[in-house]
Amino acid sequence: MANVAVISFPGSNCDRDIITAVKHITGTDPAQYWHKETSMDKHDLVILPGGFSFGDYLRCGAIAARSPIMDEMMEHVWRGGYVLGICNGFQILTEAGILPGTLMRNKQLQFVCRDVMLTIHQTESNAILAQCKEQMQLQIPVAHNEGNYFADPDTLKKMADKGQIAVTYTNTGAENYNPNGAINDIAGVTSENGRVLGLMPHPERKAEDIHGGQDGRLLLTSVIEAAS
Amino acid sequence: MLRVTITISLKDGVLDPEGQAIEHSLGNLGYHEASDIRTGRIISFTIDETNLSRANQKVAKMCETLLVNTVIENYDITVEDQVEDE
């Protein structure tokens, strides 16, 4: 099983949830790091949890992306390490320039917190999704105010060509199937090397039967297995 | 000491739902002449620097590394002499 680490920032509030979910999958506690730390052991998978790091001041994830621990994160990425950024973690990865694009305010100007249907794509071109089935459908909740993914047309084209548009909101026919107005229904993207995944939905909130389903656990298990 | 003002705005073509909501509300109040409303942010501070062009260069670097998300935002820098309090 993969050796997993979770980084917490001031204002992270889903770190305990993801630590619990990882422990239930791997059987061991993931390593934990605080944003001020300047050294990090080698890990297979580093997870940036959801929350409101630094109160979302300036822009969501902007200040966290310039934290001391992020130098170690960049080292991990350059080494070809696996990274999963969830919600605020996704915002931090875009602010750090590790993932393309950005996450803007929800189109409807409202915080959205509910289940959405997701489709997983590009499982062959992304190592982090290698254990997922292509076109897999998952029901996982979102909870965010800035999840409206945006990138300029040239960037989107490059991402599509390289198979980086990995998770989309499934068009179920419902008017609000896309919960935030994200361009091309993008819910999650990967890095060019296919080892970094950022996604707005919270798999750790759908990881036990008591949560009303285990689709999130399925996704987390796949990511952890891929990183192993 | 110089005073810096950075005006940050969304790039053309980037959707501004907040601007649209404000425009809608102004319309409700009868101000139909207001259109194409764009929102932004102003960051101002004092910089310990006396040379204008050096200050401009430093501030541009601050914008590129932290203050502005150049994927969606433009910025405009104004640097001027600090007005001393009387």
How many angstroms separate the CA of residue B59 from the nearest CA in chain A? Answer: 16
| pLDDT for residue A156 | 98
Residue position matching structure tokens 């260069």: B57
Q: Looking at the partner chain, which of B14, B18, B66 has a beta carbon nearest the beta carbon of A66?
A: B66
Query: Among A150, A35, A46, A200, which residue's Cα sits nearest to residue B73?
Result: A150
| pLDDT for residue A102 | 97
Which residues on adjacent β-strands are paired with residue A141? A115
Q: A94: which chain B residues are within 8 Å (Cβ-Cβ)? A: 71
> What's the whole-model pTM score?
0.94
Interval A76-98: pLDDT, tens: 999 999 999 999 999 999 999 99
Q: Which whole number is the average pLDDT over B70-78? A: 96
- The hierarchical CATH code for the domain A4-227 is 3.40.50.880
Computed over every residue of chain A, the mean pLDDT equals 97
Query: Among A181, A111, A167, A195, which residue's Cα sits nearest to residue B17?
Result: A181
| pLDDT for residue B86 | 54
Query: Would you state the structure tokens that stand for residue B33, as one six-digit string?
Result: 């002449």
pLDDT band, very low/low/confident/very high, at B84 (cuts 50, 70, 90)? low
| Chain B (55-74) residues lying within 8 Å, Cβ to Cβ, of chain A | 65-67, 69, 71-72
3-class secondary-structure state, position A200? coil
pLDDT band, very low/low/confident/very high, at A209 (cuts 50, 70, 90)? very high
Residue position matching structure tokens 């798999």: A203
Interface ipTM: 0.84
3-class secondary-structure state, position A120? strand
Domains present along chain B, CATH in parentheses: 2-14+40-81 (3.30.1280.10)
In chain A, where the domains are located: 4-227
Q: A108: which chain B residues are within 8 Å (Cβ-Cβ)? A: 17
The DSSP symbol for A199 reads E
